[in-house]
Amino acid sequence: MTPNTGVAWLTGEEDAAWRGWIEATQRIAAAIEHDLRNDSGLTFDDYEVLVTLSEADGRAQRMSELAMSTVQSASRLSQRIDRLADRGLVERRPCEEDKRGWFAVLTDEGLASLAAAAPGHVESVRRNLFDHLSPDDVVTLAEMMPRLASSFHAARAHADD
Amino acid sequence: MTPNTGVAWLTGEEDAAWRGWIEATQRIAAAIEHDLRNDSGLTFDDYEVLVTLSEADGRAQRMSELAMSTVQSASRLSQRIDRLADRGLVERRPCEEDKRGWFAVLTDEGLASLAAAAPGHVESVRRNLFDHLSPDDVVTLAEMMPRLASSFHAARAHADD
DNA sequence: GGAATATGATTCAAACTTGAATCAATCTAT
DNA sequence: ATAGATTGATTCAAGTTTGAATCATATTCC
């Protein structure tokens, strides 16, 4: 695993960080997703869509914006909204300002589903993540993770450099 | 997002850490997966299977063990091994000690694919993750992430407490 | 030693994701 | 104004993941 290719290979510390990252992020995501599905019938991506809409102005957001904030492709979001709409948790509303555009809108029923799912989900996030972190760890992550996420926002801005 | 349900809701710091965690882990995983698929035709899960086998005794591992070390369900691994075997990158070998069991074995061709993919993949991991971390951050993650991952190993051991 | 149970692995159908193709509306530059 | 390019969103087919069901072999315990 350390061939001579001219690439700057990972150091021992980086390798430990990276392998730990992979395993921790995968196991935590899987455990939380599993809990959420069983307790509420929502996938984690469903939940994120509902939370994002619940916090948006008028409980509505344009499809393209929603796809960016929930980190999924336009196609994936479009089909997810199809399914959530079939279940009555969201609705589509055309955009008057730009006739190509659509809003996804959280319904009362969608908000109720979110409210019903939230306590169990928070408990699961605690049990799977925060119960294993010290207060200092939390401070560290609250600075580091948004910083890592924002590197992608910056990248997008000068994509054509 | 902070209803009165008797649940210990997330503090401001925890909320920032959790939202950052979600976005950073998703974006980093998506970017690295995308790079790997384009550069090598392997998915990230394919790559993990090949790396794990390359480091195993005799380049072989039992299906159940491989499923655990690569964090995927038995069914998902079985179908992944089908596809990797179709492409000649792994083989199945029956287990003599336990006639129910099977080994997945990395082929020479599989090892060659892994070696071809590795430099580009490492570069992608650097660009998407380590380039945005200080040496201290790396030390922190190298301790924290394996600790979080290991909480699941412990959980498994006293699953029947 | 044989019935009951547990384990290792695969198969199946339904649900989901992917990326390319499509389609309509808007912007740009003549 | 209008051709050409771009943008917002959906659709389509192929590939992937899910969890339950299945099947064969092993283990347990009377």
- In the structure, how far is the CA atom of residue A28 from the C1' atom of nucleotide D18, in angstroms? 18
**A7, A19, A130 ranked by CB distance to B123: nearest:** A7
Q: Please report which confidence band the pLDDT of residue B26 belongs to, taking 50, 70 and 90 as the band edges.
A: very high
Return the structure tokens found at A134. 């010290």
Per-residue pLDDT, A4: 41
- Give the chain A residue nearest B148 (alpha carbons): A24
Segment B84-101 mean pLDDT: 94
Per-residue pLDDT, A8: 63
For residue range B123-149, what is the model confidence (pLDDT) as tens digits? 999 999 999 999 999 999 999 999 999
CATH number of B16-128: 1.10.10.10
Per-residue pLDDT, B152: 87
DSSP calls for chain B: ----SSS-PPPHHHHHHHHHHHHHHHHHHHHHHHHHHHHHS--HHHHHHHHHHHHSGGGEEEHHHHHHHTT--HHHHHHHHHHHHHTTSEEEEE-SSSTT-EEEEE-HHHHHHHHHHHHHHHHHHHHHTGGGS-HHHHHHHHHHHHHHHHHHHHHHHTTT-
Per-residue pLDDT, B8: 64
- Give the chain A residue nearest B155 (alpha carbons): A128
Q: CA–CA separation, B115 vs B46, rounded Å? A: 13
Q: CA–CA separation, A114 vs A7, rounded Å? A: 47
Segment B83-108 mean pLDDT: 95
Q: What are the residues whose beta carbons fall under 8 Å from the beta carbon of B71, sequence distance 6 or more?
A: A23, A26, A27, A30
Per-residue pLDDT, B153: 81
Per-residue pLDDT, B135: 96
Name which of B12-16, B109-113, B157-161 the model is least confident about: B157-161
CB of residue B72 closer than 7 A to nucleic acid strand D?
A: yes
Segment B30-48 mean pLDDT: 92
Determine the topology of domain A19-128 in CATH.
Arc Repressor Mutant, subunit A (1.10.10)
A127-135, long-range: CB < 8 A, 24+ apart: A128/A28, A128/A31, A128/A32, A128/A35, A128/B151, A129/A28, A129/A32, A129/B18, A129/B21, A129/B148, A130/B10, A130/B14, A130/B18, A132/B147, A132/B148, A132/B151, A133/B144, A133/B148
**A126, A132, A146 ranked by CB distance to B148: nearest:** A132
User: Which residues numbered 59-118 in B keep a CB inside 8 Å of some CB on A?
Assistant: 71, 115, 118
Segment B61-77 mean pLDDT: 96
Per-residue pLDDT, A59: 96
Q: Which of A14, A46, A133 to mutate to test the interface with B (most CBs of B within 10 A)?
A: A14
> Domain spans of chain B?
16-128
CB of residue A37 closer than 7 A to nucleic acid strand D?
A: yes
Is residue B158 predicted with pLDDT exceeding 50? Answer: no
Mean pLDDT per 10-residue interval, chain A, length 161 residues? 56 93 95 90 95 95 95 96 95 94 96 94 94 96 96 59 39
Asked if residue A124 lies in contact with residue A35, where contact means CB atoms within 8 angstroms, the answer is yes
